[in-house]
Amino acid sequence: MVGHISQRVMPIILQIIITFLAARSLAISSVPALIIVPDNSAANVEFFESERAQLSDEIIDAIAHSQDNSLLANLVAFDFNSTTVERNATSCKTYPGDASWPADSVWADFDALLGGGLLRTIPIASPCYDTKEWGPKNVTKCHNLTNSFRVFPTHENDPTSIMWPIFQGKTCMAKSTTSSNATCTLGSYPVHAVNVSSVAHIQLAVNLARNMNIRLVVKNTGHDYLGKSSGAGSLGIWTHNLKSITFFPELELDGYNGPAFKVGAGVTALELYRAAEANNVTVLGSIAPSVGFAGGYIQGGGHTPLSGLHGMAADAALAFQVVTADGKFVTASATSHTDLFWALRGGGGGTFGVVTSVVVKAFPQTDVTFSTWTLGNSTDGTQVVSRSNFLKAVRIFWEMFPVMTDARTYSFFFIFNTNGQLSFDMKTFFAPTHTEESLAALLKPFFDAVKDLNIPFTKPQKSTYHETFLPAYMQAWGRNEFPMGTATGLPGNRLIPKAMWTDPAKFEILWNRTVAHIEAGHHFGVYHQAPGNKQNADNAVSSAWRNAQAFFITKSPNFPEDATTAEIREANRVLLENNLQPWREITPASEGGGSYLNEAAVDEPNWKEDFYGEQYNRLLNTKKKVDPHSVFYATTGIGSDEWEIRGPDLGVTTQNGRLCRTGK
């Protein structure tokens, strides 16, 4: 029955488009029926053009009453009429091949309603394969893709590709040398994706997915380290093209009075940093330039090189525009949909609604001193330091974490153990408000020790002063040399609370585990940072972040790109048991520790308390309230334990399989 819908939807589309065009030149107060003016307390923040084009009950009625399209109207309506469409009554989301999966004609009608915005997924690496669906192999294209697979724009600019193909299920890998029997299938890529350019697009997609029980996936840049922006048998919402940015030199909103930005869902950190610099202000964004700002980053909390000055990125959020699970477009702020507002600031992306924009505080411009160095045995063996002296210096640096965070600084470095040779590679010591002199004074105890202990520099310390944020940021991270596009390892992390420093006995335990981790040769990246709660925000940012004095990151042992399930399972086990368990033991959630949900091991066993801390119960209540029918699902997201992925076992949780309620 789903298949038999009239094809003649064009007149409606025309009408919608004409109305859209008319709406654009009008003030919000005088727009026609198409444009809903929500109960909008953020009224002094104008909608973006893309946000003015909204779906309304009037439009649904118009669809229903034109050309006998009542069934189509029902499929995308806000209120589902169960007498006209039957949902799959089983406990799973509808899946391609099911009788309840929409027929091609429904997708065609849906595409027409979107004005041509529906994309049928072509797996990014399909040119490397001969397939029935996507045509013959194209060696030129495949080579080009293979060469560019490790750089972010390849995935960011694709409607469904993600940066970590392991979570896609590795069903269509980019390889120039595929054997003739290698296959390419959709895996966890959405079946179709909506190329969003208006709120109406998102509303239509959310309504269709809810009404038809289709899995829904939101993809912005595809950076997510757990595979949350992918899902088999789904309809995708691709927010990449929502690129608008507006600067408000003096915004008054819910008690805030100062500079602010309104940022579209598709804007990346670097795009916002550039806009901030142009207006002589700063914003709280990520270290990687290509991370999306308003998507998973800010909704997951968002740590930032300026956290020592202003806290977490989510703490600066003043209001979100959101399409909720019921398809409605709302403002979430301190005075409107306040539970949703609370949850969107730290409770995780892809869980509570589809954000179309966020309004964030901007902060004064700041100068920054940026510094790097590398310590360890010289590569030619001429300068050597004993292990114990090397570790003595590292320990002094560890002891200085509280002093360094009190001085508003942030650093990111690695301790490498390469065949027993240790090195301390300071990638970025980022010191806002510091001059070269004040930074040198801050770090003097450490560099005095380095000198006394005769520790060789394999790269001398070099500090550079920048009068403003952007050039310092560009020097630190602008080259965007983050490895991505690989399927050769799995990430994990731990947030280490301040208590490990304030209590000397605990510090000894921390140091013991630190040395053990180094000596075991586990991958070891470290941030010193203590965002605390500098904006005094009441939001969902996890208690572990509030307590944090450091952020440790690690990864599983490397495995080959074509690793077997058994190899991946073993690497995942080593990550969870050998790398992470010693950290978990000494920093349990009950004592203020935790793990950052955005850079975590997808199979982190205590994810509820470790990712969400004290906020978990309130988040779960909010999820049940704002998404009672589980329209949104994100692995390890709030409420996700009610669901499981039923698909091929790859030794780690992937998104390649049917999404079903657990326990059946």
In the bound state with ligand NAG, the residue whose beta carbon lies nearer, of 78 and 256, is: 78
300 lies in the binding site for ligand FAD (CB under 6 A): yes
- When CB distances are held under 5 to 8 angstroms depending on the partner's kind, the choice from ligand NAG, ligand FAD, none that residue 131 binds is none
Q: Which is nearer to ligand NAG, 408 or 608 (CB)?
A: 408
Does residue 282 interact with ligand NAG by CB under 6 A? no
Question: Which distant-in-sequence residues (6+ apart) come within 8 Å of 285 by Cβ?
Answer: 269, 272, 273, 291, 293, 297, 302, 304, 313
The residue within the footprint of ligand FAD, chosen from 48, 129, 297, 390 (CB under 6 A), is 297
Q: What angle do CA 383, 389, 390 make, to 5 degrees?
A: 70
For ligand FAD, give the closer residue by CB, 142 or 355: 355
- Residue 70 binds which entry of ligand FAD, ligand NAG, none, with Cβ cut-offs from 5 to 8 Å by kind? ligand NAG
Q: Distance of CA 13 to CAs 62, 178, 197, 549, Å?
A: 10, 44, 15, 55
Stretch that binds ligand FAD, among 138-146, 300-308, 413-421, 565-573 (CB under 6 A): 300-308
Q: Which is nearer to ligand NAG, 97 or 255 (CB)?
A: 97
| Residue 282 touches which member of ligand NAG, ligand FAD, none, C-beta under 5-8 Å by kind | none
Cβ proximity to ligand FAD, 145 vs 218, nearer residue: 218
- Least CB distance to ligand NAG at residue 342 (A): 30
Of the candidate residues 40, 121, 221, 374, the single one contacting ligand FAD (CB under 6 A): 221
Question: Could you say which of ligand FAD, ligand NAG, none residue 501 binds, taking C-beta under 5 to 8 angstroms by partner kind?
Answer: none
**Window of 29-37, 90-98, 200-208, 622-630 that interacts with ligand NAG by CB under 6 A:** 90-98
Residue that has been written with the tokens 């065009």 in this structure: 21
Choices 25-33, 62-70, 299-307, 418-426; region in contact with ligand FAD by CB under 6 A: 299-307
Contact 60, 78 (CB under 8 A): yes
Q: How many CA atoms lie within 13 A of 551 on its CB side?
A: 25
Q: What is the dihedral of CA 351, 353, 356, 362, to 10 degrees?
A: -60
Instruction: By CB under 6 A, tell whether 598 contacts ligand FAD.
Output: yes
State the burial class of residue 462 (Cβ atoms within 10 Å of its Cβ: 0-12, 13-18, 19+): exposed
Q: Contacting ligand FAD (CB under 6 A), which of 52, 93, 155, 219?
A: 219
Query: If binding is defined by CB under 6 A, does position 239 make contact with ligand FAD?
Result: yes
3-state secondary structure at position 153: helix
Picked from ligand FAD, ligand NAG, none, the partner binding residue 107 (CB below 5 to 8 A depending on kind) is none
178 vs 556, beta carbon nearer ligand FAD: 556
By CB under 6 A, residue 511 contacts ligand FAD: no
Q: Which is nearer to ligand NAG, 386 or 565 (CB)?
A: 386
CA angle 237, 337, 260 (to 5 degrees): 75
Selected range binding ligand FAD among 74-82, 203-211, 294-302, 434-442, rule: CB under 6 A: 294-302
What residues numbered 148-177 form the site for ligand NAG, per CB under 6 A? 148, 154, 159
Name which of ligand FAD, ligand NAG, none residue 179 binds, using a CB cut-off of 5 to 8 Å depending on partner kind.
Answer: ligand NAG
Q: Is the dihedral angle over the CA atoms 303, 306, 311, 316 positive or is it negative?
A: negative
Q: Which of 190, 236, 295, 582 binds ligand FAD (CB under 6 A)?
A: 295
In angstroms, rounded to a whole number, what is the distance separating the alpha carbons of residues 612 and 580? 18
Give the residue with the Cβ less far from ligand FAD, 325 or 568.
325
- Which span (81-89, 319-327, 427-435, 522-530) binds ligand NAG, by CB under 6 A? 81-89
Among 179, 382, 419, 536, binds ligand NAG (CB under 6 A): 179
Q: Letter for the amino acid at 88?
A: N
Of the candidates 340, 323, 426, the residue with the CA atom closest to the CA atom of residue 376: 426
Rounded distance between C-alpha atoms, residue 484 and residue 488, angstroms = 10
Q: Which of the stretches 296-304, 385-393, 484-492, 564-572 binds ligand NAG when contact is defined by CB under 6 A?
A: 385-393
Partner in contact with 321, chosen from ligand NAG, ligand FAD, none, beta carbon below 5 to 8 Å by kind: none
Select the binding partner of residue 154 from ligand NAG, ligand FAD, none (C-beta < 5 to 8 A, by kind). Answer: ligand NAG
CB of 189 to ligand NAG, least distance (A): 14
Instruction: Establish how many alpha carbons lie within 13 A of residue 415's alpha carbon, considering only the half-sphere containing its beta carbon.
Output: 24
State which of positions 536-595 bind ligand NAG (CB under 6 A).
none
The beta strands (E) that lie in 121-168 are given as none
Residue 556 makes CB contacts below 8 A (sequence gap 6+) with 489, 490, 492, 571, 572, 574, 575, 579
CA distances from 139 to 174, 176, 452, 474, 517 (A): 11, 7, 58, 36, 44
Site string for ligand FAD, 311-350 (x = CB under 6 A): --------------------------------------xx
Instruction: Single out the residue of 15, 105, 365, 486 in contact with ligand NAG (rule: CB under 6 A).
Output: 365
Q: Report the side by side order of strands in the sheet with 354-361.
A: 245-253, 256-264, 354-361, 317-323, 329-333
Q: In what order do the strands lie in the sheet with 368-376?
A: 457-466, 368-376, 421-432, 410-418, 525-528, 548-555, 491-497
**Strand (E) or helix (H) holding 368:** strand 368-376
56 binds ligand FAD (CB under 6 A): no
Q: Is 464 in the site for ligand NAG (CB under 6 A)?
A: no
The three-point CA angle 498-499-502 to 5° equals 95
Nearer to ligand FAD, 137 or 150 (CB): 150
What does 99 interact with, of ligand NAG, ligand FAD, none (CB < 5 to 8 A by kind)?
Answer: ligand NAG
Q: How many residues at the interface with ligand FAD, by CB under 6 A?
A: 34
**Three-class secondary structure assignment of 474-538:** HHHHCCCCCCCCCCCCCEEEEEEECHHHHCHHHHHHHHHHHHHHHHCCCCCEEEECCCCCCCCCC
For residue 265, give the 3-state DSSP assignment.
coil
How far is the C-alpha of 65 from the C-alpha of 62, rounded, in Å? 5
Query: What is the greatest pairwise CA distance in the chain?
Result: 85
Parallel/antiparallel/unpaired status of strands 234-238 and 215-219: parallel
247 CB-side CA count, 13 A:
17
Q: 3-state SS of 539-553? A: CCCCHHHHHEEEEEE
Shortest separation between residue 33's beta carbon and ligand FAD, angstroms: 26
CA distances from 518 to 429, 498, 554 (A): 21, 21, 11
3-state secondary structure 227-247: CCCCCCCEEEEECCCCCCEEE
Centroid of chain to Cα 363: 23
Q: How far is the CB of 532 from ligand FAD (least distance, A)?
A: 15
Residues that bind ligand NAG (CB under 6 A): 70, 81, 83-84, 88, 90, 92, 98-100, 119, 138, 140-141, 144, 148, 154, 159, 179, 181-182, 195, 197, 241, 280, 364-365, 376-377, 384-387, 390, 421-422, 512, 515-516
Residues that bind ligand FAD (CB under 6 A): 163, 218-225, 228-229, 239, 265, 286-288, 291-292, 294-297, 299-300, 302-303, 349-350, 354-355, 482, 598-599, 634
